[in-house]
A = this chain, B = another copy of it.
Amino acid sequence: MADEPSRLEVVALEGIPEIAPDDDLAALIIGALEVTPGAPPLRDDDVLVVTQKVVSKAEGAIVDLTTIEPRPEVVEFAARWDRDPRQVELVLREAKRVVRMANGLVITETSHGFVCANGGIDASNVGKGSGSVVTRLPVDPDASAARIRAAVRAATGADVPVVISDSFGRPWRFGIVDVAIGVSGLLPLDDLRGTPDHDGRVMKSTVRAVADELASAAELTLGKRAGRPVALVRGAAFTRGEGSIRDVVMPESFDLFR
């Protein structure tokens, strides 16, 4: 069961430069932890939230769109909606399933089981002078999180859970929120089913998507324009454990909202 502290702090780490393929992201995060006022010493209730873009860049999960030849239907769709046909082509190639393709938007299910716009392929903030380069999602975001966690532990002695985050749209509501796409060292779902609530009544179906909420809290400091890709979240209520983002992904047969 998670503790329930009354105070949470989110600190955007300072001093992380533009990331390029083969950069040692974990080492850069460790350096940033050392120089960010208030970050050290690391604590037991700390979580690191790392945005997808820098993980993808460090892992080389980038594609130069000049290498992509779009099929004719895609060229037509893209021209109609003022989209880059090469990006649309890449989204379709990477998709396990196309959920919807209309109004210029392509919603797919990725190999990880995430349902999101453009399959998580993203052109913004890829780096100066890289107009044709896009990032795709890390191949195994849990493993990405685990690598960063292990490196931080080796360098500092602190076993800090790591969440990899990305910005997803949702049905029924405008706007994007940051959610978790990979975790290491915490349970992404905090299951309160069967435990008594404040009044002693047993709660039947409260499963908090705590990793998603950690990602959203981090986004409030990281913003979209600031070039700060990593946040330290301190004091959140979560449960340590060897969780996986696969715990969050809902099989189609379970999903009553569809």
Contact = CB atoms under 8 A, between A and B. Distances in A.
Given A12-B6, A216-B213, A220-B8, A124 B228 contact: no
Interface string A1-14: 01011111111101
Nearest to A10: B8
Contacts of A209: 170, 173-177
Given A167-B206, A174-B247, A199-B128, A236 B257 contact: no
A249 B6 contact: no
Interface string A204-248: 101111101110110111011111100001011110000000011
Nearest to A38: B7
B173 A197 contact: no
B212 A189 contact: no
A123 interface: yes
A210 B68 CA distance: 35
A176 B228 contact: no
Contacts of A169: 257
Contacts of A80: none
A103 B197 CA distance: 24
Interface of A, secondary structure class, is loop
Given A7-B221, A14-B6, A206-B124, A174 B200 contact: no
Nearest to A201: B124
A209 B134 CA distance: 24
A225 B195 contact: yes
B248 A223 contact: no
A43 interface: no
Contacts of A258: 100, 171-172
Contacts of A250: 171-174
Nearest to A196: B225
Contacts of A176: 206-209
Interface string A122-140: 0111111011000000000
A224 B199 contact: no
7 contacts: A7-B9, A107-B257, A115-B172, A128-B200, A170-B170, A171-B171, A174-B250
Would you list the 9 A-B pairs with minimal beta carbon distance, nearest first? A175-B209, A171-B257, A217-B217, A216-B216, A4-B223, A198-B227, A213-B216, A6-B12, A8-B10
